Amino acid sequence: MPVKKSTVAAALVGALVVTGLTGCSDGHPAKTAHGGSRGTDDRVTGASARGMAERAVRATKSARSLRMTGHLTSEGERVDVDMALARSGDCTGEADAGAKGSARIRQEDGTGYVEADDSFWKAVSHNGRNVAGASRLLKGRWLKVPQGALPSGTTEAGTDPTSLCDLGALLADLGPDRMRQASKGRKTTVDGRPAVSVVSKQDGGTTTAFIAAKGKPYLLRIAKKGGESPGVMTFGGFGKPFAVVTPPQSRTVDLAELLGVPGGKSSAHTAG
């Protein structure tokens, strides 16, 4: 029996509120080698802790591309993340929440694509009765999320898996307003690169940012203990290009079309 578009749309919109796949932080100490760092740049290490954090955010955001790997914890569940991000907003990668499922995420020119298993859709859906229909519709297909597809001014518009492509949002914990009480940590290395740490306490947790101490002051790692969404994220591959392979139209289901947004077109309207 065909699944009604309104029913499927309700399930998919609910599924896009994925708070467990956003944020960036740490429940385990960052694995770094401590000790003196040679060849550090005094222009980086000589700045205040807040100044270092601001420079790191600017430098990292200015990178044409980068790779982000690590894990975070949300509501007691660990989510492993491996994403390539571009300054343009393009991205490609995946997130694995173990028993709660995994998803592949791609974004190009503002249009997002999500392919996930049944466990993922079930875990993030707010209406279990609609999960079966959504799963059938998306079997072997990608959910296409065009810009503006989610209703503005609603909770559905707040968070979705492609939020992992928003580097600015992921670095929000290092904004100037949240780093006023930051302090410098020790000099160290991250994956062999000289680094210096900046520590701040906020929202019941401790966030440590590891910043490159030589060359551009890129953010090399963020580690957060306690508070919400603890975890570790490591950044690298700065400036290295990557390709986003968007799925063919025959393998996509357009959320805009399901929601009745003007201009939305879907290759699959119903599922038997």
**Per residue in 81-92, pLDDT tens?**
899 999 888 999
Contact 135, 125 (CB under 8 A): no
Contact 92, 106 (CB under 8 A): yes
Q: Quick check: helix, strand or coil at residue 226?
A: strand
Q: What is the Cα–Cα distance from 81 to 103, expressed in whole angstroms?
A: 10
Quote the pLDDT of residue 269: 38
Quote the pLDDT of residue 259: 72
Quote the pLDDT of residue 38: 45
Quick count: other Cβ atoms within 10 Å of Cβ 161?
26
Work out the average pLDDT over 235-261: 88
Q: Residues 66-75: pLDDT tens digits?
A: 999 998 887 6
pLDDT of 258 higher than 80: no
Candidate CATH numbers 2.60.40.60, 2.50.20.20, 1.10.1510.10, 3.40.50.970; the one for domain 5-259: 2.50.20.20
Exposure of 227 in the CB half-sphere (CA atoms within 13 A): 20
Quote the pLDDT of residue 131: 59
Contact 14, 124 (CB under 8 A): yes
Quote the pLDDT of residue 251: 94
Determine what percent of the chain is predicted with pLDDT higher than 90.
Answer: 25
> Which of 27-36, 55-64, 177-186 is predicted least confidently?
27-36
pLDDT of 133 higher than 60: yes
Mention every residue, 6+ apart, whose C-beta is less than 8 A from residue 28: 223, 225, 230, 231, 232
What is the distance, to the nearest Å, from the Cα of residue 217 to the centroid of all Cα atoms in its chain? 21
pLDDT of 79 higher than 70: yes
Q: Quick check: helix, strand or coil at residue 204?
A: coil
Query: In Å, how far are 58, 135, 205, 242 from 107, measured between CA atoms?
Result: 22, 21, 31, 12
Q: Residues 167-196: pLDDT tens digits?
A: 777 777 666 666 767 888 889 999 999 999
Contact 235, 218 (CB under 8 A): yes
Mention every residue, 6+ apart, whose C-beta is less than 8 A from residue 67: 82, 83, 84, 85, 235, 236, 237, 240, 242
pLDDT of 11 higher than 80: no
Q: Are strands 219-226 and 183-190 parallel, antiparallel or unpaired?
A: unpaired
